[in-house]
A and B are shown apart, each in its own frame.
Chain A
Amino acid sequence: MSKFRSVCRFLHREFGFLAVGLTLAYAISGVAVNHVDSWNPSYEQTVDRRTIEAPGTGPTEEVAPVVIERLALAEPVRNIWRASDEDLRLIVESGTIDVNLTTGEAVAVQVAPRPLLRDVNFLHLNQGKGAWTWIADAYAVVLAILAVTGIMLVKGRRGLAGRGGVLLTLGVLLPVVYVVFAKYL
């Protein structure tokens, strides 16, 4: 048994060091993505409103240059789309600018990647697919090894037979109870 415990300690120690980086990345991303309904975890979005002299609702090829000139944009226009008689959308490097051609009201929505968060979310959500699928699978196996070997690290009152066992039971019951209440009752 002591030989088995020794192997567990070895695996837990070595894999523990190995898993630190990914665990932190996944933990940070986990919190960020968990609240996707109340914020954008990967991109920062800013809205800027201003009013220009209304160019009128003429043909797009006529009003678009006028709008661009009156907005005095600092960045090139990538595309233009006439959304309705009254609405013109300019697509620029930083996002979109919607201009009401009747009132002259312009709403610029700028989108910029959140430093670090966008990258950890990219990993956590496996947006790259391919090789990262396998790396993430390997990491999941490492986490399972850490969980199982962790149980065996300490013996006695603080181990599985004592406080450790109580904590383990609590940790298993928490998701089980939640699922039962949230899904089946």
Chain B
Amino acid sequence: MRLVTLILGLAALLSLAACSGGDTGAGQQAAATPSVPVPAGKIYGAGVSSGDTTLVSALLAAPAVHLGETVRVQGPVVNVCKARGCWLELASDREQQKIMLKVNDGEIVFPPEILGETAIVEGVLEGIPLTYEEACAYLEQEATCQGETFDKTKVPAEGITFYRIKGTGAVVLASAAR
């Protein structure tokens, strides 16, 4: 009898848990204004707000202007952190350009399955100045982690300012989301 009571109590607890909604995970719909609806798709983190997206090329053409601003960009996912799923890279509308969306480890996890899909991402643009040595160390570590080849000759001797979006959410578009 006691066992039955225990099981019933736990079942009630689990049911309560299952009925309550999530707060930050995939599946949450971001707030949207009626004018420009957020496209349907799989939502990560806080998703994205409604409104126009900025071209990645426009962002990277004058990044200093947008530093600290909340930006929203769209493009095909061309790279995902395979170890922790803590970042992804979107290809720009212009060839040979890309931009990284970095999220806090564990808060949002991007699976490698979204590679090649189109995503809309949102967050605050930040610029991180790196010396040549710092850039080499960072890029080499990332390349090793991704199973890719790192070429030191492609890093400018004066170092780089690494622009990325500190992400709050993303939507991988429904037509391709699995």
Contact = CB atoms under 8 A, between A and B. Distances in A.
Interface of A: 10, 14, 18, 36, 40, 43, 45, 47, 60, 78-79, 81-85, 89, 91-92, 95-96, 98, 107, 109, 111, 125-131, 133-135, 138
Interface of B: 2-3, 6, 10, 13-14, 16-28, 76, 78-79, 82-84, 91, 95-96, 98, 106, 109, 112, 115-117, 146-149, 154
A131 B17 contact: yes
For chain B, what secondary structure do more than half of its interface residues adopt (helix, strand, loop), or is it mixed? Answer: loop
A43 B3 contact: no
A61 B107 CA distance: 38
B55 to A, nearest CB: 16
Contacts, number: 96
Contacts of A85: 96
Nearest to B3: A14
Given A82-B96, A98-B149, A130-B20, 4 more contacts: A81-B76, A91-B115, A138-B10, A138-B13
A151 B107 CA distance: 35
B22 A133 contact: yes
Contacts of B19: 131
B115 A107 contact: no
Contact of A95 (B13, B84, B115): B115
A44 to B, nearest CB: 10
B148 A109 contact: yes
Nearest to A128: B25
A110 to B, nearest CB: 9
A36 B3 contact: no
